[in-house]
Structure 1
Amino acid sequence: MKKNKEDIKKVVLAYSGGLDTSIIIPWLKENYNNCEVIAVSGDVGQGTELDGLEEKAIKTGASKLYVLDLKKDYIENYIWPCLKADAKYEDYLLGTSHARPCIAKALADIAKKEGADAICHGCTGKGNDQVRFELTLKAMAPDMTIIAPWREWNIKSRDEEIDYAEAHNIPLKINRETNYSKDKNLWHLSHEGLDLEKPSLEPQYNKPGFLELGVSPEQAPDTPTYVKIHFEKGIPTAVDGKEMGSVELVEYLNKLGGENGIGLLDIVENRLVGMKSRGVYETPGGAILYKAHNVLETITLDKESFHFKEIIAQKMGELVYNGQWFTPLREAISAFTDDLQKTVTGDVTLKLYKGNMINAGVTSPYTLYDEQTASFGEDEDYNQADATGFINLFGLPIAERAKLAKSWPTEE
């Protein structure tokens, strides 16, 4: 049951140390009766963004800070299910989308442990993340009060946020000129705002400091890089013959892909809340894994399974993008996908060259490709004369319609 403002004594805040959450701590204390604020940072691979976070949180009014290492959980329980399903949303590989339920579930766990009265997040009222956080919280802590400052305060822009921060002596890592809205984790880095809000303008890929996970294709090496990825039941487990844990594997492929200009996406996407939004995404390792996984499925899945999986991949992508991770349908799609992945084991070699990923070979002990049958040469399995009956039956509706159409009334 939602509590009244005066009844809220302890709030758990999803804290990144970025612009939004940096000003939320003093704002909560000012507007919620000097309530206790417990900051929680979910480490899903933000890297140096977490440096100095505890000191900053305490100085701005938090009673404590939890930093939770969620990287392995994030990859294995959120990213891998999407990879196995080939889930995308309008070509976007869901970098922010599947990080939110991972973080929000951890928030709910801490809130219960701390006996909190409310959970607070810094998502804007225009974005998708507010939905992703809150739908997860409804699933994990349905009776918990949720505070969303962007839907309460009078601040209208990031410039006004900076004004608030400066007035409260809150240190920031950004300034008004380089104020891109960014989200970084193990899987991706997103860029929004400033000149990117004009779809007529090309992103400044070669501008120093814009790209962080890699380089533009023009700046990539003039010689290709080959990489071989091994999958077990749809999950990548080794690169170039070296077995790796999930975190190490993604980090390695991010470096390799980034160096070769892989995984850049510039799109105007359809947000859940109804508006269109332009963003640039860097997903170098993820792009490699999606490509390799798809190539492996071309020889390990039968036609009907492969085609049907393409249909549910779109639905899976929509569910994840829309924040519906903890729903029966998403769980059912993942169960279906897991069953199909039983034979998606093998090796895929890709040639990386200036932003391109070129198939350079695929093998699997469960291959459905029979060179002898598929060959244009002589084979023992296929009688070409059988095709006559097949075509006659397959084309029967077309032939019958053509014959009967001769007697149809003509239109005047």
Structure 2
Amino acid sequence: MKPKKIVLAYSGGLDTSVILKWLIERYQCPVIAFSADLGQGEDWEEVKKKALSIGAEKVIIQDLKQEFVKEYCFFAIKAGARYEDWYLMGTSLARPLIAKAQVEVALREGADAVSHGATGKGNDQVRFELTYSSLAPHLKIIAPWREWEFKGRSDLIAYAKEKGIPVPVTPEKPYSIDANLFHISYEGGILEDIWQEPPEDMFILTNSPEKAPDKPEYIEIDFDRGEPVAINGEALSPVELLQKLNYLGGLHGVGRVDMVENRYVGIKSRGIYETPGGTILHIAHRALEQITLDREVMRLKDTLMPKIAELIYYGYWFSPEFQALKHLIEETQERVTGTVRLKLYKGNVIVCGRKSPFSLYKKELASFEEEGGYSHKDAEGFIRLNALRLKNLATF
């Protein structure tokens, strides 16, 4: 059935600019361009002007930075979520929020269809569409990359020139960039040769470790129930805090990752990431958990982390299983309150101190110099019981 009105997730880049024009021509109906401000640093007035010049009926730009950092990025920190151990998932965390806000716009504006610019080979198509399906299953989903005749970005550039659409990407710099407050990612083009080191002039947020300051910098981060709230004693909003850590981490060369990851659709893909503030927060948060979490709670949380990261990466943020795990993680964070001292130096984040009013670390108990209520003789029976099965096996 032909849609009556479409809401497009619009970034202002090559793909979505072409998609905007293509949707208008293909479906002959009004198209609303929706943009989410997640700290990309875009000139939003120019984005709006461009969308209107292409033919959008309306342009809606929403500032989602605080919600993105507090509800999505900080949750990932609390969960310790890293996909395939390296990727801190800046793009994965952004997509469900963008899609949720897009659905809300569609319902408010009386649209009966939503569209996105994700390609048919990537993860984002899944993330967008699983969110649409979870929140508004009645909306028609239009995925141009799976429908139109264009084969690649060179075709899009030719189409854009034909239609008079200005585009920021040129054939000379074809790799794709995705940016938000949590990270910048780079993929495609020259980066598809996985033997070649990425060019140094590509990086935006971080110095190379070689060019980072020769003097280390010490910082302290305060957490309240797992959430970072202050740097060096200064209380900051979630956005301000992440921005400051991005600057400090970037200055000292922290947060670069070059990895080949497994996309949900089954393709291996190289991604280059800069996540300076997020890297600092993951390390600091883990250091605080080491003194505030019970051993078995920490181990249970660690076993769940890969599943949580997988669900985020695959796009299941609004699934019942993810929401259940989310509640569990929040429960574990009730006593993750305190301060962590860190040293930033040449790409490294080194934990130098940690303290908490809920610390389970007792010096008198851990010390080799004091008994502190611990009887050494108790260890004898403990070892005997644990060795019993080993002795039994050794009799054969």
* Unaligned runs of at least 5 residues, structure 1: 406-412
Larger Rg: 1
Matched, 1:133 2:125: no
The AA in structure 1 aligned to 2:121 is K
Query: Partner residue of 2:336?
Result: 344
1:257-336 equivalence runs, <5 A? 257-336=249-328
Q: What does residue 152 of structure 1 align with? A: 147
Alignment correspondent of 2:33: 39
Q: Give runs of ≥4 in structure 1 deviating > 4 Å.
A: none
CA-CA distance at 1:368 after TM superposition: 0.6
Instruction: Determine the C-alpha separation between the residues in 2 that align with 1:170 and 1:215.
Output: 34
- Correspondence for 2:223 among 226, 231, 236: 231
Distance 2:77 2:321 in 1: 17
Question: How far apart in 2 are the matches of 1:35 and 1:219?
Answer: 53
- How far does the alpha carbon of each residue in 1:160-211 deviate from its partner, in whole angstroms, 9 at most, with x for none? 111111111111122111121010001000000122101111111x22xx11
Query: In 2, Cα distance between the equivalents of 1:339 and 1:245?
Result: 23
The answer to whether the aligner puts 1:161 opposite 2:156 as a matched pair is yes
Aligned counterparts, 1:1-400, within 5 A = 4=1, 7-32=2-27, 34-48=28-42, 50-90=44-84, 91-204=86-199, 206-207=200-201, 210-400=202-392
The one-letter amino acid paired with 2:14 is L
Query: In the alignment, is the contact (CA less than 8 A) between 1:349 and 1:360 conserved in 2?
Result: yes
Task: Give how far 1:139 is off.
Answer: 1.0
Describe the SS at the equivalent of 1:281.
strand
Q: Which amino acid aligns with 1:314?
A: P
**Please, which moves more after superposition, 183-192 or 173-182?**
173-182
- Cα distance between partner residues in 1 of 2:77 and 2:195: 32
CA distance in 2, matches of 1:99, 1:395: 50
Structure 1 residue 28, shift from structure 2 partner: 0.8
Structure 1 counterpart SS, 2:218:
strand
> Deviations 1:319-343 (Å, cap 9, x if unpaired)?
0000000011111111111111011
For residues 195-250 of structure 1, the C-alpha deviation after alignment (integer angstroms, 9 at most, x for no partner) is 2101111111x22xx11112111111111111110000000000010000011111
Deviation at 1:117, TM superposition (A): 2.0
Q: Cα offset for 1:48?
A: 2.6
The answer to whether the 8 A contact 1:89-1:314 is kept is yes
State the secondary structure of the residue aligned to 1:47.
coil
Distance 1:270 1:50 in 2: 33
CA contact (8 A) 1:296 1:347 kept: yes
Q: Distance in 2 between matches of 1:107 and 1:194?
A: 29
Q: Distance in 1 between matches of 2:35 and 2:246?
A: 23
Deviation at 1:77, TM superposition (A): 1.7
Unaligned runs of 5+ in 2: none
Equivalenced residue count is 395
What letter matches 2:301 in structure 1?
K
CA RMSD after TM alignment? 1.0
Q: TM-score, normalised by structure 1?
A: 0.94
CA contact (8 A) 1:75 1:247 kept: yes
Q: Distance in 1 between matches of 2:44 and 2:92?
A: 20
Following TM superposition, by how much is the alpha carbon of 1:380 offset from its aligned partner in structure 2, in angstroms?
A: 3.0
- Quote the Cα distance in structure 1 between the aligned partners of 2:91 and 2:145: 19
How far 1:50 sits from its partner (Å)? 3.3
Does the residue aligned with 2:265 lie in a helix, a strand or coil? coil
Deviations 1:315-369 (A, max 9, x none): 1000000000001111111111111101100000110111101111000000011
**Partners of 2:385 and 2:178 in 1: CA distance:** 55
Amino acid paired to 2:229: T
Deviation at 1:51, TM superposition (A): 4.8
Distance in 1 (CA, whole Å) between partners of 2:309 and 2:43 is 28
Report the Cα distance in structure 1 between the residues aligned to 2:137 and 2:218, rounded to whole angstroms. Answer: 48
Q: Secondary structure at the match of 1:155?
A: coil
Write the distance in 2 (CA, Å) between the matches of 1:380 and 1:196: 57
Give the counterpart letter for 2:179 in structure 1: K
Partners of 1:16 and 1:50 within 8 A in 2: no
Counterpart Cα distance in 1 of 2:72 and 2:370: 47
Worse-superposed segment, 142-151 or 212-221: 212-221
Give 1:13's aligned amino acid: L
Deviation at 1:378, TM superposition (A): 2.5
Q: Distance in 2 between matches of 1:239 and 1:41?
A: 31
Q: Report if the CA contact (8 A) 1:262-1:284 is conserved.
A: yes
2:370 and 2:281 map into 1 onto residues whose CA distance is 37
Distance 1:150 1:378 in 2: 67
Cα distance in 1 for partners of 2:124, 2:208 equals: 28
SS in 2 for 1:343: coil
Deviation at 1:49, TM superposition (A): 5.2
